[in-house]
Structure formats: C-alpha cells, structure tokens
Amino acid sequence: MFIESFLLLLALNFLSAGRVIRPEERIIGGNPTEIEDVPWMVSIQIYGQHWCGGSIYNADTIITAAHCFFYNGTRLDPRYFEIRAGSHSKQSNGTLVKVAAVIIHEYYVHKEYPFFVQNDIAVVRLSERLEFTNKVQPIPLAESNPEPGTMSFVTGWGSTFEGEAGKASKGPINLQGVKLRIQTPNFCAVSNGQSTICAGNVGKTTCKGDSGGPLVINRKLVGVTSGGSEYCWSSAFFSSVPYFREWILNAIKSFPQHV
C-alpha cells in the first residue's frame, strides 16, 4: 500500500511540474482530432491519469518512449500502467487494458545536467488483445527517415500552451493534432544523427504529456515523441522509428506469446 501511494504521489507531482528541457512533450498550435482519423493513438495512464502517448503496432503491442517508464531516474513498475484505446477523450470511453510488460532499449540514456537523451524507445505488451474497430487500428512502421521539408502529423493530449513562469497547462481532455514540418537535425536542441528526427517550429510543436506519441507521415509511424525546447517554444525531437525498426521488431518477438 505504501508503494502504491508513493507512486501515485510521484505521478501527480510529475504531471503538474514545470520544467526545463526534458523528454516530455506537448501539442502547441494544434486542433481537435477525432480518434477515427488516428485510430492507432492510445493514452498510457497511471492511476487513471494520462501519462504518455503511444501507438498501436498490433493487437497486443504498443510503441512508445522509454522515458515514460521512469521518474527521477527510477524505473516504474509496469503493473501500475494501463492504456486507453479507441477514444479521443483521455478520461472516458474506448477500452482500458492493463500493461503486462515493457521492454526498454538496453542503451537508453537520460541525463538532466547537461541534458542528454538517447535510444528513447520502448515496446509495451498488453495483458489482453485489443479488438480492432474503426477507432482502434494498428499503424505500420516507416522504413526510412523523412527528408527535411516534409510535412508530418503528431497527436497527443499534452499541454496546449505555456502559462506564467513557463508552467504548462494541464492539457486538454480531448485529443489534439498538429502538422509539423520536418527540419534538419541541427534545428533541434538534441540531435543523435539518424536515430532522432527534428520537426516543428515556433508556435507549432509538442508539449508536456505528448511523450511517446506518434509522428506520422502517409499513415506510417515515423517517430516517437521524445523531447523538445524549453517551455515548448520551438521544434521537438523524436526517436526515429526507421532507425529503431529492427530493434522494435526483435523486442516484440521476444515477448512470451499469449495463451
């Protein structure tokens, strides 16, 4: 009981905290988006609170960011997480499914000072299989990084503006989406070569609560929201799905099969 209460306090503090550059992302300059238009989108939750975004790869696998399962350097127990699929609301409707297991990239690194994040990718095994509908669908993995100038689409329940003293809003109840232009790597605060993709600009980016969500081009998963500029004011960086494609597929194969 103590552990559960402690983790709940961690979660609530984490969700309400303001911060400098960190790998938690957010939708700025976007518009409401229906789940039927992005049926691969899920909300990863802890104790009923939205925590991160994720993408449906198959009926029992979600792709998201590694940092979604850490707090202040401590890895959180996957049993405290569940996902909501098939709803544009992070609070109601759709289907809730508990997380059974999480595989995090073995070389995932996240440092605060100086800020550095690398290999920010994870796959989630659900405790039961999702039933596919027009609101719940898998998304295929892209095979190559996009060229600068290409338009992409990112979705999430993250903050929609930065308030006084850089504190992010708590984020909308309903899903938001925004079109982002792919930028050259040096346009972002963090670049790890081909393993990261830079996208967005002033007034159109991601914010707190969008972590782990999908960066999509031509209805293929190109990136996973990883981090961005201080106070969500400019571009964001994403873990490259094409770069990590082999790792993702091997990690999925390593999960025990459902009976």
Q: What tokens were used for 238?
A: 């994403």
Mean pLDDT, consecutive 10-residue stretches, the chain (259 aa), reads 40 36 53 96 96 98 97 92 98 97 96 84 98 98 98 92 50 93 90 93 89 97 91 90 98 82
pTM for the predicted model, two decimal places: 0.87
| Cis status of the peptide bond prior to 185, with omega within 30 of 0 | no
Residues 6+ apart with CB under 8 A from 176: 27, 30, 31, 32, 33, 155, 156, 157, 158, 160
Residue 122's closest CA among 170, 32, 51? 51
Instruction: Give the pLDDT confidence score for residue 100 in this predicted structure.
Output: 97
Residue 26's closest CA among 243, 211, 242, 178? 211
Instruction: Give the pLDDT confidence score for residue 175 in this predicted structure.
Output: 96
SS3 230: helix
Residue 123, strand partner residues: 63, 103
105 in catalytic set: no
d(CA 50, CA 158): 9
258 in catalytic set: no
Which one is catalytic: 43, 88, 120, 239?
120
Residue 220's closest CA among 136, 130, 139, 113? 139
d(CA 238, CA 121): 10
Instruction: Give the pLDDT confidence score for residue 189 in this predicted structure.
Output: 79
- The string of DSSP codes covering 144-173 is SPPPTT-EEEEEES--S-B-GGGPBP---S
d(CA 15, CA 169): 10
d(CA 71, CA 80): 13
Domains detected in the chain: 2-17+39-138+244-254 (2.40.10.10), 151-242 (2.40.10.10)
Which one is catalytic: 43, 159, 211, 229?
211
Residue tagged 């996902």 (tokens): 83
67 in catalytic set: yes
Which one is catalytic: 43, 55, 60, 67?
67
